[in-house]
Structure 1
Amino acid sequence: MFRLTSGHRPGIAVATGLTLAASALGLAQPLVAKHVVDSSVRGEVLWPFLLLLSGLFVAEAAAGATGRFLLDRMGEDVIRMVRHGLVSRLLRLEMREADRRRRGDLVSRVTADTTLLRDVVSQALVDLLTGCLVSAGALLLMLWLDPLLLLLVVVTVALAAVVVSTLLKGMRAASEQMQSSVGTIAAELERALGALPVVRVYRAEEREARRIGERVDSAHRSGVRAAKLAAVMSSAVELAVQGSFLLVLVVGGMRVGSGGADSLGDLVAFLLYASYLVMPLSSVFRAIGLIQRGAGAYLRIDEALALPQEPAQEPGPALPGTPPATPRSPAHALELTDIRFAYVPDRPVLRGATFTVPHHGLVALVGRSGAGKSTLFSLIARLYDPDAGSIRFDGRPATALTRRQCRAGIALVDQNTHVLEGTLRENITYAVPDATDDDILRVVRLTRLEHVVRRLPGGLDGRLGDQGGTLSAGERQRVALARALLARPRLLLLDEHTSHLDAVNETALTRTLSDVTRDCAVLVIAHRLSTVRHADRIVVLEDGRTVASGRHDRLLATSAAYRELAATHVLHGRVPENGER
């Protein structure tokens, strides 16, 4: 907590000073009340003391309100900084780390956990400090007024402190479990809502509700346990304070009656200090409990801030088998040499993929599901780094470039066809936010999105809904392609870009790609003969290796692997007869 507030300590000092000033003004009030009582008994003038008492009330309220506002604002500033750091870290996570984390749980750390942490930062720390100081001040004044009565108060409060200390560990554990369960609820709900059509079609609403309900029940149990411990702690403190107040009232009253105390005013002042001790002591114990609950949230936030992220600027390390980092003549837009990669150790996905993509050429990548085609795209886009082998862009090794430099010349249309919540214009211009209307309309025509523009209320500025819910699968695919083409990349990666298109749109898109190759290189993962037959070269992947490459007619004649792909309809479409080759 001290580290989190490092940039806000002057503001904390001012707020703490105001809070202490308000507390000091409050501590002065019983002394003034003592003089009011004693003056009343002696028949002296009361209005100066009453006026002073009113002024102390007003000054205490003003100082306290100002201090509280400064603390709340500081808490919001700190949490804004933490949230910025979390968002920046999560958007730059290494892909391996992002793959194994649940998105809903990560979102919960940015929202629910930071909200709890804000209360700790803005309230608990200062309450703990000021509560301790004010309690110490009240105890000193009570010692000055009557040491014997103070002893009774200290004994009862000490008993409450023993009870509280035994509850803190359990409260922290319950809070950590509750925060973790809340994160799991968010993750499970995100999972179900992300596949809502599947849930509906297979009538799994009750099953998913039970699944999420188990997490809700777990959070409830942890919350109830924390509430039970907090209630016991609060009751212990309240009983201690009230018990000490009653003891002081009974014993002090008996001593005043027997002449053992200095005056009735002393007893009134002591009772006021005993009652004033309630708030600072309560704030101290409440702050301790809040810090224990916030510790669980802070641990989750700290864990997220420590997750590994992609290096921002530095080029990656050279890999085993990588040639020297001297640029070659850029004869190829992309060159892969003996690429090897595994998501999990000892379970390789790629075992030696080697091929090139020439400038202004269309290369199709084919193979069975699981052959490593999409993984190759992830490596080319530098979402992962290969375990061995080399990737070169325009003759320059990827390891000699930063990820941003590698990606600057790449556009990707993956098989998930991500469409973001927002307008059609925002989705198309995602890579080029300052694109002109002429450029936007050019890619709209190229990808045959005119009817979508006409259909949407607002045209290009019409909203597409979450994950493009107002579009068909084929329309989402064309929006993703328009986004890629607008970026004018040197290398265009297309992963099953025609899987949701009808024959008319597929034919038009094939013609578009022929035009695109005049400006850039195109590497496409294809499952349709209509796509690969027009490719300048076809690369066949089998078990993570490139086993053949060439044009369609040559591969049908020379490659058994390619013929098998066509014959088993892994490549969809009519296989040409021998006479048509």
Structure 2
Amino acid sequence: MGEDTATSSRRRPSTGPRGPRATFRQLLPYLFEQRGHLAFIALLSVLGALFSLTQPLLVGGVIERVQQAAPLDWMLWALVGVVLASALLNGYQHYLLQRLGERVVLASRRRLIAKILFLPISEFDRRRTGDLVSRIGSDTTLLRAVLTQGLVETIGGALLFIGALIGMLVIDPLLFLITFGIIALALVVVVGLSARIRPEVARAQEKVGDLAAAVDRAIGSIRTIRAAGAAERQQAAIEHEAEEAYRHGIRVARISALIVPVSFIAMQVSLLAVLGLGGYRVATGSITVAQLVTFIIFLFMMIMPLGQAFGAISAVNQALGALGRIQEIVALPVESDHDAELSPAGRILPLDAAAATAPAATADARTPPPAIRFDRVSFTYRSAAPQRVDVRDLVRGAGRGARRDAEAAPAPVVETPVLHEVTFEVPRGSRVALVGPSGAGKSTILGLLERFYDPDHGSISLHGADLRTLDRRELRAQFGYVEQDAPVLAGSIRDNLRLAAPEASDGECERVLRAVNLGGLLDRTAATIPAALDAEVGERGIMLSGGEKQRL
């Protein structure tokens, strides 16, 4: 069989940025999944706004009765009841919002997990494990802030805001115009600042992903790192990633911090203007003391939903920055999305049907086709070139500039041809070994059989059926696949044995272990654990030897 084992690289510029920018429309599906709960919380928010709007009116009535030396009767008790009811509603609403936020995070994590586990293998070749983990853990938590920091509360807040505006306008139009002008100016400033948060959050989350990837790489290779005396250099590299995440996080904090004083200044200036001008208008008899107090309470009620709106604007922009990274993965196709289009039959067939409809592979149609046939198969690995920064630059303190230069350059694509016009057959019932130097394509052939990849040219058949016509699950059920590095999942011996056969009994598990000469493993663990199959294998199977990992 002919193989091109020489590795060559041809670089070309990337066709797009590191990730798409999310829009508010893309955020809506995450919220609408919880529309029933959202509607109930919005109703509570509206009720809370109505209770709040009655408070200034009751306070004004109490002041007028006190000035007139009239009995308060029911009015004082009504004010106390309204305040208590409003507080209880707000507390219950806060709990529901927190719970709803956790639901949104859970739904987004489920969506990401369901996508990541079924991505094409080529995506895992070019993406770092730590970055994918960071998207599930860190990025999704930012979606919670959309609900817990004011977005839903703005529904009732809008009613409270409009009601307060009307109340202020009715009491004193002049005071209202001055107050509204100050707050409108503050709102323009806040919206402008918030627009700068989204790209900074996206960059900050990317740095968190870089940090997670660096830590994952170091921990996964900790024995090699220790043996090579490279722990200090790895520490420097990881600390650099942590500093980059910190630096971008500070940028987000700096922009967010500007929103707080703007809101505070707007509130203080509005209050001072109302007190100064309002006191003058009380002195001139334009309004009464009760009306001024009522106006001030309405002012606070107008500012409170504005604060919620400012927080919601900031939270939404932060969430959209993280959502861009989430959507980058969610938008990717899973490996089976285009199987029907790739199939020569135009559809996916069961193995028996595909084999029955396949043309005869030999001159004698009565002779069954070979178990496996490669016909002029060529394949090339394609991956994004990693951004490389020399660890020595990090130690010398030049890593930050080197990192910026690497990120500014377009991400190239590296093409590595592995197989070229490969043709061979494996007869039924035979035992065949692939022998060749490292990098010759032996593992690639097995990966093509499992359809982790599809060939660039040529065809591969199983019992005469083209692999592309077969359902991937049924195809993979025909093979027993053991990776070269023999990965073992953290958990028990039973967990690993049942990975592909979840219904297997303990007796079947023990029989298959002894069949592959792992009876000694059972006997060794049975001495310390009553159920030997419950023995933990450790992270990446560290409790097992290399041979035991492969056989398990």
* Shorter-chain TM band: 0.7 to 0.9
User: 2:448 matched to which residue of 1?
Assistant: 379
Structure-to-structure mapping, 1:223-372, within 5 angstroms? 223-261=249-287, 263-311=288-336, 314-315=339-340, 317-318=342-343, 326=358, 328=360, 330-344=368-382, 347-372=416-441
CA contact (8 A) 1:252 1:267 kept: yes
Distance 1:423 1:198 in 2: 25
Distance 1:97 1:272 in 2: 58
Distance 2:546 2:144 in 1: 42
Residue 348 of structure 1 deviates from its aligned partner by 2.3
Structure-to-structure mapping, 1:563-578, within 5 angstroms? none
Q: Please give the secondary structure, in 2, of the residue aligned with 1:249.
A: helix
Per-residue CA deviations over 1:37-69 (Å, capped at 9, x if unaligned) read: 110111111241111011111221233233333
CA contact (8 A) 1:192 1:208 kept: yes
User: 2:550 matched to which residue of 1?
Assistant: 477
Distance 1:127 1:303 in 2: 29
Residue 123 of structure 1 deviates from its aligned partner by 4.1
CA contact (8 A) 2:497 2:509 kept: yes
User: 1:433 matched to which residue of 2?
Assistant: 502
Per-residue CA deviations over 1:477-527 (Å, capped at 9, x if unaligned) read: 221xxxxxxxxxxxxxxxxxxxxxxxxxxxxxxxxxxxxxxxxxxxxxxxx
- Which amino acid in 1 is paired with 2:292? L
Q: Does 1:7 align with 2:33?
A: yes
CA contact (8 A) 2:215 2:238 kept: yes
Q: Please give the secondary structure, in 2, of the residue aligned with 1:390.
A: strand
Q: CA distance change for structure 1 residues 313 and 293 in 2, over 3 Å: closer, same or farther?
A: closer
Q: Please give the secondary structure, in 1, of the residue aligned with 2:458.
A: strand
Q: Gaps (5+ residues) in structure 2? A: 1-26, 345-354, 361-366, 383-413
Distance 2:105 2:61 in 1: 46
Q: Does 1:218 align with 2:265?
A: no
Distance 1:438 1:357 in 2: 34
For residue 83 of structure 2, the aligned residue among 51, 57, 61 is 57
User: 2:55 matched to which residue of 1?
Assistant: 29
Distance 2:36 2:509 in 1: 51
**Structure 1 vs Structure 2 CA RMSD:** 2.3
Residue 384 of structure 1 deviates from its aligned partner by 0.5
For residue 119 of structure 1, the aligned residue among 141, 145, 161 is 145
Residue 237 of structure 1 deviates from its aligned partner by 0.7
Distance 2:211 2:359 in 1: 51
Residue 401 of structure 1 deviates from its aligned partner by 0.8
User: 1:463 matched to which residue of 2?
Assistant: 536
Structure 2 length as normaliser, TM-score?
0.82
Q: Does 1:204 align with 2:230?
A: yes
Q: Does 1:81 align with 2:125?
A: no
Residue 318 of structure 1 deviates from its aligned partner by 4.8
Percent of residue pairs identical: 37
Residue 287 of structure 1 deviates from its aligned partner by 0.6
Distance 1:471 1:227 in 2: 47
Distance 1:295 1:177 in 2: 12
CA contact (8 A) 2:207 2:244 kept: yes
Residue 399 of structure 1 deviates from its aligned partner by 1.8
Aligned residues: 477
- Which amino acid in 2 is paired with 1:283? Q
Per-residue CA deviations over 1:525-552 (Å, capped at 9, x if unaligned) read: xxxxxxxxxxxxxxxxxxxxxxxxxxxx
Per-residue CA deviations over 1:8-32 (Å, capped at 9, x if unaligned) read: 3233122112112102211210110
CA contact (8 A) 2:45 2:155 kept: no
User: 1:69 matched to which residue of 2?
Assistant: 95
Structure 1 length as normaliser, TM-score?
0.78
CA contact (8 A) 2:191 2:313 kept: no
Residue 229 of structure 1 deviates from its aligned partner by 1.6
Q: Which has the larger radius of gyration?
A: 1
Q: Please give the secondary structure, in 1, of the residue aligned with 2:358.
A: coil
Q: Please give the secondary structure, in 2, of the residue aligned with 1:348.
A: strand
Distance 2:322 2:162 in 1: 31
Distance 1:318 1:430 in 2: 28
Q: CA distance change for structure 1 residues 118 and 350 in 2, over 3 Å: closer, same or farther?
A: same
Residue 236 of structure 1 deviates from its aligned partner by 0.7
Residue 265 of structure 1 deviates from its aligned partner by 0.8
Q: Please give the secondary structure, in 2, of the residue aligned with 1:250.
A: helix
CA contact (8 A) 1:97 1:308 kept: no
CA contact (8 A) 1:184 1:215 kept: yes
